[in-house]
Amino acid sequence: MSHANREPVKFAYWVPNVSGGLVISNIEQRTSWSIDYNRKLAQIAEENGFEYALSQIRFTAGYGAEFQHESVSFSHALLEATKTLKVIAAILPGPWNPALAAKQIATINHLTNGRVAVNVVSGWFRGEFAAIGEHWLDHDERYRRSEEFIRALRGIWTEDNFTFRGDFYRFNNYSLKPKPIDPQPEIFQGGSSRAARDMAARVSDWYFTNGNTPDQIAKQVSDIRQKAKESDHSVRVGVNAFAIVRETEEEAKAILAEIVEKANPEAVNAFGHEVKNAGKASPEGEGNWAKSSFEDLVQYNDGFRSNLIGTPRQVAERILDLKRAGADLILLGFLHFQEEVEYFGKHVIPLVRELEAAEALQPVAAE
Ligand SMILES: Cc1cc2nc3c(=O)[nH]c(=O)nc-3n(C[C@H](O)[C@H](O)[C@H](O)COP(=O)(O)O)c2cc1C
């Protein structure tokens, strides 16, 4: 069965607002977490076919990422430096409460002509929670809190006299002024466990999942669309990938081999232990990283599994496969961000658009 959307697939890149890039490896990475590098990167991205940028929230180091800029303020700076790019600010319930987040994002929405979005993340890093004195909730409890958080955000943004009685949050006749201008900020979420999918099917606009094969993505999409239908909700899907696009397949594969060869095994294993442990209370074992191998874990979100590693044509064809599996957006990480975002925009995205145009001429297959 094809889940393909007829709209052009969208592209996003991970904002490198934490140090060390997107792979846990000592390979050379010509990427910087500085604001100057990131402003220029955002401009390159919007000029080269990228619609979104996703910033990250981290409070402490762990397995790399020694330095971290805060996501909402950093996202605002990138929005100020660009004209059309939408920037997704990551928000972690716990450190943020929905009253503050709703107010902060509503203001940025006004300042940037509605270009800010949020990614509500539920957390995986217990040591980080301990370091900042936050309670560590069990896996499914974290999602129950995130769902209330999202319901509260939407309520505050759209209703006057908002009243909410949750287990985690309470609001009494609260009227936010001014409310965001349209378009309303889009709400993304990270996570792909049962609890994460159920939350997406009920309340999120977008579901972000770790890298995976088209078959595995298609299974997740079927499941989530079915559940969303039951809740009379619709949710779009973003898939993570670490792209290595070079003129020849050999070159691209050699870079992957070098990334893995130069990985720091202790850090990768410690990261693997942490993320698998974070998902333990997710009883079905389907969460992000449940099946990740050592090689997969060298990239924080299983980005090698999506296999966007090869020539521009190979990569464009594989993006079409992910789209047929139901991906509405591809979220990309790179080794050398500025150079590779530009290369991807100039050499891969036009091929994707050609393939999409050719496919649009085909009759729609009966499902
Ligand atoms: C695309 C994406 C972006 C994420 N960004 C962050 C982040 O910035 N900070 C963070 O602490 N967790 C982040 N996460 C982690 C998720 O919030 C969640 O804790 C994790 O995916 C585990 O989910 P699961 O066990 O429910 O599948 C991200 C996850 C994904 C897929």
Residue pLDDT, tens place only, 313-337: 999 999 999 999 999 999 999 999 9
CA of residue 329 to ligand 1 center, whole Å: 16
pLDDT band at residue 362 using 50, 70 and 90 as cut-offs: confident
End-to-end CA distance of the chain: 6
CA of residue 52 to ligand 1 center, whole Å: 17
Residue of the nearest CA to atom 2 in ligand 1?
Answer: 190
DSSP run (H or E) holding 171: strand 170-174
**Quick one: tokens of 196?**
């994460």
Which amino acid belongs to residue 158?
T
pLDDT of residue 191: 86
Cα(5)–Cα(237) distance, rounded to whole angstroms?
10
Cα(191)–Cα(209) distance, rounded to whole angstroms?
6
DSSP 153: H
The total of other beta-carbon atoms located within 10 Å of residue 165's CB is 9
107-113: Cβ within 8 A, 24+ apart: 108/72, 108/75, 108/76, 108/79, 109/180, 109/181, 109/185, 110/178, 110/180, 110/181, 111/76, 111/79, 111/80, 112/76, 112/79, 112/80, 113/181
Ligand 1 atom with least separation from CA of 279: 25
Residue of the nearest CA to atom 18 in ligand 1?
Answer: 191
Would the pLDDT of 248 be above 60? yes
Q: Could you tell me which residues come within 8 angstroms of residue 273 by beta carbon, excluding any fewer than 6 positions away?
A: none
The total of other beta-carbon atoms located within 10 Å of residue 171's CB is 19
| Cα 340 → chain centroid | 19
Domain 10-360 grouped into CATH 3.30.1330.60: no
Question: Which residues does ligand 1 sit against, CB inside 6 Å?
Answer: 56-58, 90, 92, 121-125, 190-193, 196, 208-210, 240, 279, 282, 287-288, 301, 331
Q: Hunting for tokens 């002509």 — which residue is that?
A: 113
Q: Could you tell me which residues come within 8 angstroms of residue 271 by beta carbon, excluding any fewer than 6 positions away?
A: 24, 62, 63, 297, 300
Residue of the nearest CA to atom 25 in ligand 1?
Answer: 287
CA of residue 154 to ligand 1 center, whole Å: 21
| Candidate of 71, 96, 124, 147 to mutate for ligand 1, largest count of ligand atoms within 8 Å of Cβ | 124
Cα(20)–Cα(240) distance, rounded to whole angstroms?
18
CA of residue 218 to ligand 1 center, whole Å: 20
Would the pLDDT of 61 be above 70? yes
Residue of the nearest CA to atom 10 in ligand 1?
Answer: 123
Would the pLDDT of 367 be above 50? no
pTM given for the model: 0.96
Tell me: the pLDDT tens digits for 160-193? 999 999 999 999 999 999 999 998 999 999 888 9
Alpha-carbon torsion 198, 202, 203, 205, what sign?
positive
